């Protein structure tokens, strides 16, 4: 809420949460006049330009549809939905209602990612034939059923952490079209002698993967490997991206670009601003501006679906034990 509250000429009108104590606390913190225990009451009581949804994926579809029906544009959290059918339905409704749909994928607003996108577009690295993404939490599955149970969360670390680097990498690459995927899921938690369970209940109640590894093939012949881990060992590097091109290598976190010139390697890392903007605030600024200007936000419909399609394909492959086509 703070990132929307910071936008010029933007007023927070109401907040809804099934936990009224939390709703009142947020309303007091941000000076919001109205708070509700159910979204339907909130939608019935006001006209909104934008509804921002911060929900488990299991609830995104129903609330997004209700917001569109109420005439609002929608900013949705990641991932878009539980599956492709729900994702397509959300996007088709946005199109039918002539409403904008934004998604909280702040990686695109990182100055590192933007600089890497320019480097790749200029052809500095040649053809990027393989990318590697890894993202994890150090021995930590979030202490909430909305992230540890598949019926609410939809998936584990891939759905809720790696999604950000996946989208950032795809965007930097110019959004190549995914065609095939293969993956494996692992559940280390159930086999640990002293599992780090941070919520009330039993280990068996956590039915999401705590480690997923996958490989995606793209239409241009390139590939991308992904490692998603809730229970990363403490000495491991928690997150990063590497891209291998014909003439060099690039990486994120931090940004580094190196060009191979035979007997020597040249550091071609572009300079970055000393004080980069807040990427979360930039997502909100871009969406608010798009609504005002009746323009398109940086995150587009088809790109949201590609991210969803890749993640769902990786889960499908892990469940079926074979390579699958990416359903776009």
Instruction: For the chain of 328 residues, list the mean pLDDT of each consecutive stretch of 10.
Output: 86 95 94 95 96 95 97 96 96 97 95 97 97 87 79 92 96 98 91 76 82 97 96 79 97 95 92 91 95 94 96 97 94
Distance CA 145, CA 201 (A): 10
How much is the pLDDT for 143?
A: 66
Together in a domain, 17 and 53: yes
Residue 70: CATH number of its domain: 3.40.50.720
Cα angle 206-160-154, degrees, rounded to a multiple of 5: 55
Asked whether residue 35 is assigned to any structural domain, the reply reads yes
Asked whether residue 57 is assigned to any structural domain, the reply reads yes
Together in a domain, 176 and 198: yes
Structure tokens at 109: 């607003």
Together in a domain, 184 and 150: yes
Classify burial at 271, counting beta carbons within 10 Å of its beta carbon; exposed 0-12, middle 13-18, buried 19 or more: exposed
In DSSP terms, 216 is beta-bridged to 181, 224
Together in a domain, 199 and 72: no
**pTM listed for this prediction:** 0.94
Distance CA 215, CA 178 (A): 11
Together in a domain, 41 and 151: no
Together in a domain, 191 and 313: yes
Considering only CA atoms, which of 176, 175, 171 is closest in space to residue 219?
A: 176
Together in a domain, 138 and 241: yes
Together in a domain, 128 and 270: yes
Together in a domain, 268 and 217: yes
Together in a domain, 321 and 290: no
Distance CA 103, CA 148 (A): 22
Asked whether residue 31 is assigned to any structural domain, the reply reads yes
Asked whether residue 150 is assigned to any structural domain, the reply reads yes
Residue 224: CATH number of its domain: 3.30.360.10
Asked whether residue 132 is assigned to any structural domain, the reply reads yes
Considering only CA atoms, which of 151, 239, 131, 147 is closest in space to residue 189?
A: 147
* Residue 201 neighbours by CB distance under 10 Å: 12
Distance CA 108, CA 99 (A): 22
How much is the pLDDT for 116?
A: 98
Asked whether residue 300 is assigned to any structural domain, the reply reads no
Together in a domain, 81 and 131: no
Domain count, the chain: 2
Together in a domain, 203 and 140: yes
Q: Which domain holds residue 182?
A: 107-279+306-325
Distance CA 283, CA 286 (A): 5
Asked whether residue 301 is assigned to any structural domain, the reply reads no
């Amino acid at each position: 809420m703070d990132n929307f509250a910071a936008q010029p000429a933007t007023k927070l009108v109401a907040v809804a949460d099934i936990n009224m104590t939390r709703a009142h606390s947020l309303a007091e913190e941000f000076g919001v006049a109205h708070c509700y225990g159910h979204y339907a009451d909130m939608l019935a009581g006001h006209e909104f330009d934008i509804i921002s949804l911060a929900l488990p994926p299991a609830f995104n579809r129903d609330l997004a549809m209700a917001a569109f029906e109420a005439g609002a544009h929608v900013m949705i959290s990641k991932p878009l939905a539980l599956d492709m059918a729900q994702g397509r339905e959300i996007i088709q409704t946005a199109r039918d209602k002539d409403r904008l749909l934004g998604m909280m994928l702040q990686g695109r607003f990182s100055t590192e990612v933007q600089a890497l996108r320019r480097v790749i577009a200029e052809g500095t690295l040649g053809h990027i034939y393989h990318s590697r993404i890894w993202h994890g939490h150090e021995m930590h599955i979030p202490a909430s059923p909305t992230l540890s149970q598949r019926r609410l969360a939809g998936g584990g670390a891939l759905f809720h952490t790696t999604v950000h680097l996946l989208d950032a990498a795809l965007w930097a690459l110019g959004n190549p079209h995914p065609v095939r995927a293969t993956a494996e899921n692992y559940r280390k938690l159930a086999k640990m002698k002293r599992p780090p369970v941070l919520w009330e209940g039993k280990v068996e109640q956590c039915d999401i993967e705590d480690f997923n590894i996958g490989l995606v093939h793209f239409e241009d012949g390139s590939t991308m490997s992904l490692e998603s881990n809730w229970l990363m060992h403490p000495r491991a590097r928690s997150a990063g991206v590497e891209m291998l091109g014909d003439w060099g290598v690039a990486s994120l976190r931090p940004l580094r670009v190196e060009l191979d010139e035979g007997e020597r390697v040249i550091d071609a890392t572009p300079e970055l601003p000393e004080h980069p903007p807040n990427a979360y605030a930039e997502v909100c600024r871009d969406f608010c501006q798009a609504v005002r200007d009746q323009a398109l936000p940086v995150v587009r419909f088809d790109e949201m679906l590609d991210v969803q399609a890749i993640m769902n394909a990786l889960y499908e492959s892990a469940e079926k034990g074979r390579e699958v086509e990416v359903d776009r």
